[in-house]
Amino acid sequence: MSKVTELVAGLARPLVEARGCELWDVEYVREAGEWFLRVYIDKEGGVNIDDCEAISRALDPLLDEADPIETSYNFEVSSAGLERALKRPSDFERFMGAYVAVKLYKAADNQKEYTGHLRGYGNGAVTIETGDGRTVTFEAAQVASVHLRLE
């Protein structure tokens, strides 16, 4: 699957940037028995429907030509969203200090989700400052996902 997302990202990036946007992520996932190819974009001031439509229309024929996916799938271009996932080190650097939710694979202190301000990131380990002022670090192997959250 990573080859599909890498190929699509390579096709999408120049189109997205030409539209004044940033390629945030590409995912290829199965949901409710159907496959979805999603291209997430971002832009200063926010993404609008015209951005999504223009990029979708430009990318669709390139996907047809490259044919990176053998089976049928649903193709979507959308905003990365206000509560987007943080995945790359650059994401964590960019949103240092932001309010986040950290979901764990297994509960720690009887909790599987912690919220707080992002205070550190290194080698996959995530450090947050919780609402009660505690600083908590979760090792990479513990962290299922990290998303921005609205306060």
Model pLDDT for residues 43-95, shown as the tens digit of each residue: 999 999 999 999 999 999 999 999 889 899 999 999 999 999 999 999 999 99
Asked if residue 117 lies in contact with residue 99, where contact means CB atoms within 8 angstroms, the answer is yes
Average pLDDT on 34-40 reads: 97
Domain 89-148 has CATH 2.30.30.180: yes
At 2, the pLDDT band (50, 70, 90 cuts) reads low
Query: Distance between CA 121 and CA 127 in Å, rounded?
Result: 6
CATH number for the segment(s) 2-79: 3.30.300.70
Write down the pTM of the prediction. 0.84
Beta-carbon contacts of 24 under 8 Å, excluding residues fewer than 6 positions away, are 40, 41, 42, 80, 84
Q: Is residue 119 within a helix (H) or strand (E), and if so which, with residue range?
A: strand 111-122
Q: What residue segments make up the domains of the chain, in order of their start?
A: 2-79, 89-148
Sheet holding 125-129, edge to edge: 135-138, 125-129, 111-122, 99-108, 143-148
At 1, the pLDDT band (50, 70, 90 cuts) reads low
